[in-house]
């Protein structure tokens, strides 16, 4: 067996959850003695149950509520460059089977066997978010493995966001391989052209997860007037124009994101059919309702209002308010799409909040479609956090 330190589960913990695929060890489940607490964030250890039976090889972070992340069921595994390359090859093989273009999420953390690590690919540019201590510590090895396996020319480390702060990791942004792009990177999806700011945009610069929901919205958008609220770089709005929408209006608080939306419309010759509104989304919807504006398709894709169980109730009230304000903006017989990327708000909670909001907005609705993230965002059945995205489409009457 590896000459590694050991962390042990408490006698009252439930080791069967980990044996059945749950990938995390919470701090209150482990014996955190002085020896364990002296381990450095990112160290590897052998996880044992209370009877001292080896269970898995884990990465350790005594500073996190998730003190252990399962790396490999084989306690003799070597977490090195070849181990990383093997996991990346498996992830790449699936994405290349799914997509004809090199634009996708290449690694979706635990679901791809690389805990806490996110990698999005933009052609010859890859952006990685090492949100666990081990991946931050091995960032250079991961970057080189990415080059070896995928052939990308540039690897950006985006070390920002709530997940890193929960791990006690510092914020940083740098090019680990190649030169950082000085311009936004064009991305082709569903016939639309998007521009991703991989150095200064939200997350990795674009959201690949909504791709299948963009495609469904395109079926409703042909010949229509479309409103895309919380649009970022034009996600649903540009997809609608690419599908033949007559006009799209994008609302977002970021002037930089809306500028990229305009570039995307210009790239396909539809700049004249795109309106951008830089505003707080709630205020913008209230103002449009006061003006009597209506659209054939309205899409609201807000940020995570319920990122944790502690924020669930407040988040559900926010989702209800979004639905209430959006419903009057839908023309009779039109469609409303409401999205949530909050893993703490499950589908039932989110659907109920959306239905209440539509009703409070004075409209009657029927749900016609429920979407989730695309297959480049695989879901680990034992970990609800990997299945965070929900997109609900309603037809509104009256």
- Catalytic sites, residue numbers: 341
Q: What SS3 class is residue 14? A: coil
Angle separating helix axes 235-242 and 255-267, nearest 10 degrees: 10
Which residues is 48 bridged to in the sheet? 8, 54
Structure tokens at 314: 């407040």
Q: Say which DSSP state 388 is in.
A: -
Nearest to 190 by CA among 275, 276, 100: 100
Taking CB atoms within 8 Å and a gap of at least 24, the contacts of 309-317 are 309/344, 311/344, 312/344, 312/345, 312/349, 315/342, 315/344, 315/345, 316/345, 316/349, 316/350, 316/353, 317/353
Burial class (CB in 10 A: 0-12, 13-18, 19+), 104: buried
The CA-CA-CA angle for residues 339, 342, 346, to 5°, reads: 85
* CA–CA separation, 199 and 127 (whole Å): 9
CA dihedral 308, 309, 312, 313 (to 10 degrees): -140
In sequence order, what are the residues at sequence separation of 6 or more whose Cβ sits closer than 8 angstroms to the Cβ of residue 341? 209, 303, 304, 388, 389
Q: How far is CA 37 from CA 27, 28, 33, in A?
A: 11, 13, 6
The H or E element containing residue 248 is strand 247-252
Residue carrying the six token digits 């790239």? 267
Strand order across the beta sheet in which 172-177 lies:
103-108, 117-122, 125-130, 154-159, 172-177
Structure tokens at 180: 């950082």
Q: What SS3 class is residue 343? A: coil
Q: How far is CA 391 from CA 211, 369, 373, in A?
A: 11, 8, 9
């Amino acid at each position: 067996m590896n000459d590694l330190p050991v962390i042990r589960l408490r006698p009252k913990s439930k080791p069967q959850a980990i044996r059945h695929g749950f990938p995390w060890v919470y701090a209150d489940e482990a014996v955190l003695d002085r020896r364990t607490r002296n381990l450095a964030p990112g160290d590897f250890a052998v996880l044992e149950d209370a009877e001292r039976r080896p269970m898995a090889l884990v990465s350790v972070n005594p500073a996190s509520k998730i003190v252990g992340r399962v790396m490999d069921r084989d306690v003799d595994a070597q977490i090195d460059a070849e181990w990383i390359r093997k996991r990346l090859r498996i992830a790449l093989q699936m994405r290349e089977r799914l997509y004809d273009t090199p634009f996708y999420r290449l690694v979706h953390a635990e679901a791809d066997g690389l805990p806490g690590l996110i990698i999005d690919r933009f052609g010859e540019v890859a952006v990685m978010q090492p949100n666990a201590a081990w991946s931050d510590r091995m960032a250079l090895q991961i970057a080189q493995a990415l080059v070896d396996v995928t052939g990308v020319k540039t690897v950006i480390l985006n070390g920002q966001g709530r997940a890193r702060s929960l791990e006690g990791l510092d914020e940083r942004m740098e090019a680990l391989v190649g030169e950082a792009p000085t311009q936004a990177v064009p991305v082709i999806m569903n016939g639309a052209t998007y521009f991703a700011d991989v150095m200064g945009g939200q997350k990795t610069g674009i959201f690949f997860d909504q791709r299948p929901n963009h495609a469904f919205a395109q079926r409703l958008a042909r010949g229509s007037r479309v409103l895309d609220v919380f649009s970022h770089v034009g996600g649903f709005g540009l997809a609608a124009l690419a599908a033949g929408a007559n006009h799209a209006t994008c609302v977002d608080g970021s002037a930089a994101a809306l500028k990229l939306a305009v570039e995307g419309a210009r790239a396909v010759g539809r700049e004249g059919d795109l309106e951008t509104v830089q505003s707080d989304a709630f205020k913008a919807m209230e103002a449009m309702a006061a003006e009597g504006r209506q659209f054939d398709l309205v899409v609201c894709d807000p940020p995570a209002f319920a990122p944790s169980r502690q924020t669930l109730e407040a988040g559900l009230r926010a989702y209800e308010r979004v639905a209430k304000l959006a419903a009057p903006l839908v023309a009779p017989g039109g469609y409303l799409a409401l999205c949530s990327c909050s893993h703490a708000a499950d589908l039932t909670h989110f659907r109920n909040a959306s239905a209440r909001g539509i009703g409070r907005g004075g409209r009657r609705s029927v749900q016609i479609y429920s979407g989730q993230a695309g297959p480049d965002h695989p879901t680990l059945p034992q970990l609800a956090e990997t299945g965070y995205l929900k997109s609900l489409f309603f037809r509104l009457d009256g």
